[in-house]
Amino acid sequence: MLSYRHAFHAGVHADVFKHLILSLLVRSLLHKDKPFFYLDTHAGAGRYNLGSEMARKNREYETGIGRLWNEASPPEAVRDYLAAVRTINPGRELRWYPGSPRIVRSFLRPRDRMVLCELHPNEARLLSAEFAGDRQVRVEPLDGYQRLKALLPPPERRGLVLIDPAYELKDERRRLLDAIKEGYTRWASGIFAVWYPIQDRAMADDLVRRFKRLNIPKVLLAEFTVLPNKPFRLNGSGMIVINPPWRLDEQLNEALPWLWKRLAIEGQGGFRVEWLAGEQTIAAKGKGFG
Ligand SMILES: C[S@@+](CC[C@H](N)C(=O)[O-])C[C@H]1O[C@@H](n2cnc3c(N)ncnc32)[C@H](O)[C@@H]1O
């Protein structure tokens, strides 16, 4: 039984970190004229009303997007992300937070396309309504792990897969790693971005260790935390990027210190950007990851 509802957490620091990287990845796909394909295996509702009861319960967005909304001159690497948030908030007030589907939709050119998988019936219904009549978007109320196997490689041969589970099921990590392995085998040139929570440091490290055993040759990892390691709290999150575009490491080295200064709670937590495999050019360790 799925019970996770992203509306409680929309716009929290982990969403900001994830969607900032997502924006950089999609932007990199616009450098060539050839169309690209985007698959969101765990898409959520698509957009979130920050005035809703769920969002107002813990007001998590105030620890994330709420602190950036009025930033007048963010660094280059953060601009696209903030522009995507502003696209669905045309007024001066921050009312909506875009989920990953809405963020990516704001970049699509007429021949690009996206498939969004969402298994929770309520979320799937909202997602379908959000993109009703949009011919570039297909919503599938199905298991994203299974669809990943069926949809790869896409005919476009270029694009991005976001795997962003809620980690609420016991065997989630095994299913996730199996899906990555299968997806990469089918489409070794695709970009895959895999988000994970940092609640308990040991659990996050274990996931990264198990991922490394897949022996995928080009992988960048980024982590961002706003609190020190304390179990049962969302201290931060990480993103594993397979086949990262050129200069993603540099862009993150520009964006994350700026982000951390604004979102860290009393100067705690930190960030790191590290090659797990391949490249080994520059990588940065921020505060908290000495
Ligand atoms: C963290 S939320 C997604 C947030 C979204 N990617 C974003 O960034 O806006 C995870 C979503 O995955 C859905 N979900 C859980 N298991 C799934 C599965 N096997 N296939 C598709 N969706 C699933 C949950 O219902 C939930 O809405």
On the question of pLDDT at 282 being above 60, the answer is no
> How far does residue 33's CA lie from ligand 1's centre (Å)?
30
Nearest CA to ligand 1 atom 17: 119
Among the listed residues 72, 82, 114, 92, the one whose alpha carbon sits nearest the alpha carbon of residue 11:
82
Q: What does each C-alpha distance from 24 to 41, 84, 97, 123, 283 come to in angstroms?
A: 19, 12, 18, 26, 17
> 211-259, pLDDT tens digit by residue?
999 999 999 999 999 998 887 889 999 999 999 999 999 999 999 999 9
Q: Can you read off the two tokens belonging to residue 258? A: 């700026």
Confidence at residue 7, expressed as pLDDT on a 0 to 100 scale: 82
Report residue 48 CA to chain centroid gap: 15
Average pLDDT over residues 74-82: 96
105 in a domain, yes or no?
Answer: yes
Average pLDDT over residues 260-264: 96
290 in a domain, yes or no?
Answer: no
1 in a domain, yes or no?
Answer: no
Look up the pTM and report it. Answer: 0.95
155 in a domain, yes or no?
Answer: yes
Given 40, 112, 164, 249, which residue is catalytic? 164
Query: Measuring from each residue's beta carbon to the nearest atom of ligand 1, which residues come in under 6 Å?
Result: 2, 4, 6, 18, 40-44, 99-100, 117-120, 123, 143-145, 164-166
275 in a domain, yes or no?
Answer: yes
Concerning whether 80 is annotated as a catalytic residue, the answer is no
Nearest CA to ligand 1 atom 9: 99
Number of domain units in the chain = 1
Average pLDDT, the chain: 93
On the question of pLDDT at 209 being above 80, the answer is yes
pLDDT band at 290; cut points 50, 70, 90:
very low
> How far does residue 27's CA lie from ligand 1's centre (Å)?
23
CATH number of the domain where residue 85 is located: 3.40.50.150
Nearest CA to ligand 1 atom 1: 166
Q: What does each C-alpha distance from 148 to 46, 82, 117, 143, 208 come to in angstroms?
A: 19, 29, 9, 9, 21
CA distance 250 to 160: 20
> 95-153, pLDDT tens digit by residue?
999 999 999 999 999 999 999 999 999 999 999 999 999 999 999 999 999 999 999 99
On the question of pLDDT at 281 being above 60, the answer is no
Dihedral over alpha carbons 105, 197, 45, 8 (to 10 degrees): -130
259 in a domain, yes or no?
Answer: yes
Name the residue range of residue 78's domain. Answer: 6-285
Nearest CA to ligand 1 atom 12: 42
Q: Ligand 1 pocket test: pick from 9, 22, 116, 118 the residue with the most ligand atoms within 8 Å of its Cβ.
A: 118
Sheet holding 137-140, edge to edge: 137-140, 113-117, 37-40, 159-163, 191-198, 236-242, 219-225, 270-277, 284-285
Among the listed residues 52, 11, 13, 60, the one whose alpha carbon sits nearest the alpha carbon of residue 238:
13
> 152-189, pLDDT tens digit by residue?
999 999 999 999 999 988 899 999 999 999 999 999 99
> How far does residue 180's CA lie from ligand 1's centre (Å)?
16
72 in a domain, yes or no?
Answer: yes
Q: Ligand 1 pocket test: pick from 6, 117, 163 the residue with the most ligand atoms within 8 Å of its Cβ.
A: 6
Proportion of the chain above pLDDT 90, given as a percent: 81
Nearest CA to ligand 1 atom 6: 43
